[in-house]
Structure 1
């Protein structure tokens, strides 16, 4: 696993030890960023199930100003900290050990807003529609912000989510990436 492009290009990242996480592959990660605009001038990125921090680090490497990386596993948080340290820009990252729902509610209480939110929960624990609705209810996405959902190929996400517009969906065999634009 490596950073594909941008400021941290070609830096290798450690995976989370064990089998509790499934990292986004470099191929899928590169495709996601090609779909949403490969480089950014700024913005805030949230990875709600960060695992190794791979996708959030890629986002900052490509120009996002800040990435918030959330995971509930101790091993994942330890790995994220090690991977963020390789960037030598730890001030561009917030690392939070928390359950996803609790983290979203805390962000809502604090009035936090994001330009891009990435959801890639463990495939057996997917609650994409519920999370999309909670993100909307808590006003966590900026207007025209993006919600990116990575699911397994058995999940068929709706194209009619309230206050979201489906703008792209790609199938990568076992993985499907669905991208929504927030209309609120």
Structure 2
């Protein structure tokens, strides 16, 4: 039968190739989860995540987390596995948010929220002083879209950061340090290939050496 002569019926939903990520440590250590392998979706590599969560190990338990450009959700999922109180995942892709909800259900995670929205739209809709304030924020936006400065500004102006909140920024190394709120102090930074990753704290308190 030719391709133009298929029987009519309900269209099949779009399918995507899948990638796989691994939870490194905590309650779900070693669990492998799928994510849609969409163009531009690049989970934080295992070795970078391991370094980041070594930096954060004393701060994750009990933290309220925001994974703003969630993608695979690797950072927020790792935080939940290591004892974070809650996590909010924000992404504008229906395929991504659907898979995140499926993964959270598989893990029986009841302390997470998945929001299907563009990160900037979501931030702009937050009502200053009336929203949850986050202890730990992960910012890993699509490369070469110049989203970081405005995202950082809105996190501050909408008062979405707790006192002494920690903010992780992952970006292309060629970008350099973006314009950031004056109250953010850089604590750690490393470069791995074409990616730079940095940890900041709000209001200038430093982590122990």
TM over 0.5: yes
Checking the alignment, whether the CA contact within 8 Å between 2:91 and 2:115 is kept in structure 1 is yes
Q: CA deviation at 1:160?
A: 6.7
Is structure 2 residue 167 aligned with structure 1 residue 147? yes
**Greater relative contact order structure (CA < 8 Å, 6+ sep):** 1
Indicate the residue corresponding to 2:98 in structure 1. Answer: 78
Checking the alignment, whether the CA contact within 8 Å between 2:148 and 2:178 is kept in structure 1 is no
Secondary structure at 1:67 match in 2:
strand
Indicate the residue corresponding to 2:201 in structure 1. Answer: 181
Distance 2:25 2:157 in 1: 34
Distance 1:177 1:160 in 2: 15
Specify the structure having the higher radius of gyration (Cα).
2
Is structure 2 residue 145 aligned with structure 1 residue 104? no
Change in CA separation of 1:71 and 1:158 when aligned onto 2, cut-off 3 Å: closer
Distance 1:49 1:107 in 2: 16
Structure 1, 174-183 or 18-27: larger mean CA deviation = 18-27
Is structure 2 residue 38 aligned with structure 1 residue 28? no
Q: What RMSD, in angstroms, separates the aligned Cα atoms of the two structures?
A: 1.8
Q: CA deviation at 1:147?
A: 1.0
Q: CA deviation at 1:159?
A: 8.4
Is structure 2 residue 153 aligned with structure 1 residue 133? yes
Write out aligned runs for 1:33-44 (5 A): 33-37=53-57, 40-44=60-64
Q: Deviations over 1:73-114 (max 9, x none)?
A: 11111121122122112x211000001112123344542200
Secondary structure at 1:154 match in 2:
helix
Secondary structure at 1:116 match in 2:
strand
Q: CA deviation at 1:153?
A: 1.3
Distance 1:161 1:41 in 2: 26
Q: CA deviation at 1:44?
A: 0.6
Q: CA deviation at 1:38?
A: 5.8
Q: Deviations over 1:124-159 (max 9, x none)?
A: 223222211111111111010011100011111158
Is structure 2 residue 50 aligned with structure 1 residue 61? no
Change in CA separation of 1:5 and 1:48 when aligned onto 2, cut-off 3 Å: same
Where does structure 1 lack aligned partners over 5 or more consecutive residues? none
Match of 1:114 among 121, 134, 140: 134
Checking the alignment, whether the CA contact within 8 Å between 1:165 and 1:180 is kept in structure 2 is yes
Secondary structure at 1:14 match in 2:
strand
Checking the alignment, whether the CA contact within 8 Å between 2:191 and 2:197 is kept in structure 1 is yes
Where does structure 2 lack aligned partners over 5 or more consecutive residues? 1-20, 205-209
Size of the aligned set, in residue pairs, is 183
Name the one with the larger helix percent: 1
Change in CA separation of 1:39 and 1:3 when aligned onto 2, cut-off 3 Å: farther
